[in-house]
Amino acid sequence: MQKKRLKRPEVLSPAGTLEKLKVAVDYGADAVFVGGQAYGLRSRAGNFSMEELQEGIDYAHERGAKVYVAANMVTHEGNEIGAGQWFCQLRDMGLDAVIVSDPALIAICAAEAPGLEIHLSTQASSTNVETFEFWKEMGLTRVVLAREVSMEEIAQIRQRTDVEIEAFVHGAMCISYSGRCVLSNHMSFRDANRGGCCQSCRWKYDLYQVTEEDGRQSVQGQIPEEFSMSAVDMCMIEHIPDMIENGVDSLKIEGRMKSVHYVSTVTNCYKAAVDAYLESPEAFEAIKQDLIDECWKVAQRELSTGFYYQTPSEDEQLFGARRKIPRYKFVAEVVSFDPETMRATIRQRNVIKEGEAIECYGPGFRHFETKVEDLRDQDGLPIDRANRPMELLTIKLDRPVCPGDMIRSCQSGLINLYKDNGQSMTIRA
């Protein structure tokens, strides 16, 4: 029986800054999505100037990767002025595609910047094949699925359309339907649909009981969690086979406002997962637990599979007690390595100490644990502790590393938290 030929999906990583773009590409991203200085939904991300964007496009293209710009805001009257010229400039810079949700911006881009590929944003809430075909007729080549679509629905959509499917596989998920939030605007006059989200769903809320006798009484302490709306994060790393088998063209990682540590780690994991499964299911199974463990090292919240396999209840979806807390801290990146002396020159990012347990990792899912030995400052003097960010230091290693590799400290202590009838239980590493 002939083996089924599977299409390699694109690993699409977030890039909030030029540095993160380069890191994402170096760690295996097939494409990155960024924000320009107009029409996006992340006003507080390190959005790219045109000069930075050009440098990023050139850097990615030289390494076989693509760059997309998110222009997914909902326009109000007058917001569309100048959009055509902006889209033309992006096209002429060699941008691979724009990600758009507003029909007005889609029409402007198609009419005034022909040749620039348009992808439909998840904010447009595409959940069925008829919607895919509608946007195909409008000239769009890819649709980013609504986050509420199930795996079964993906399979059905794939069988009935040749439009490219992009789906989220990792990162923070908005509690509002397809990210179309009005809560932020209501509570802080910052419009989430035009880039001003204040993340009010992640604020701490209290509940009150109102009776005629006692009036309004807080129930704080009687309920286990103060959060009431904040969704847990998505992680599909162990289900990448399902995404590939069902024909998803692009695996999207959320996180343009996340750190270099996050971007490098998660990109590395999903690239390794895709490579392993396309080699063989057995190869994927052999590294699956390592991939899961690696993703937890940068997890900021609980992890779930969202709506892919079931409609999540409050137990699976709302932010609550953490099962795991990462005990890793990004401390440095490798600038150079001398194989004769086995000394690495590193650029410090956080406090690093002599004798500290560390893990070095790099592209290709390379990683090993060791200790900081013979820590020296930029003048070559031995030191016990370095606490000045971006300072150049040297350390002695027992294995070789490469420029661009990352170093994180491995802290001991409490790593698992469980709740049993409101009581906390702890397990030591």
Kindly report, residue by residue over 160-170, the tens digit of the pLDDT: 999 999 999 99
CATH (residue range 10-173+231-312)? 3.20.20.380
Residue 274 to residue 279: CA distance in whole angstroms: 9
Q: Residue 47 has what pLDDT?
A: 77
The top-level CATH class assigned to 328-411 is: mainly beta
Q: Residue 1 has what pLDDT?
A: 44
pLDDT tens by residue, 224-277: 556 567 778 899 999 999 999 999 999 999 998 899 999 999 999 999 999 999
Q: Residue 424 has what pLDDT?
A: 37
Q: Residue 187 has what pLDDT?
A: 65
Q: What is the pTM of this model?
A: 0.85
Q: How long, in residues, is the chain?
A: 429
Residue 89 to residue 33: CA distance in whole angstroms: 17
Q: Residue 322 has what pLDDT?
A: 58
Helix (H) / strand (E) element for 33: namely strand 31-35
**Cβ–Cβ under 8 Å, residues 153 and 127:** yes
Q: Residue 198 has what pLDDT?
A: 62
* Spans of the chain, pLDDT less than 50: 1-2, 42-45, 413-429
Exposed, middle or buried by CB within 10 Å (0-12, 13-18, 19+), for 387? exposed
Listed by start position, the domains of the chain span 10-173+231-312, 179-218, 328-411
**CA-CA distances (angstroms) from residue 292 to 268, 289, 406?**
12, 5, 19
Q: Residue 217 has what pLDDT?
A: 76
What region, left, alpha or beta, does residue 417 occupy, with left being phi > 0 and alpha being psi -120 to 50 degrees? beta
| Residue 104 phi, psi (nearest 5) | -65, -45
The closest of 182, 162, 195 to 47, measured between CA atoms, is 195
Q: Residue 423 has what pLDDT?
A: 38
Q: What is the dihedral of CA 199, 205, 210, 216, to 10 degrees?
A: -110
Residue 202 to residue 351: CA distance in whole angstroms: 29
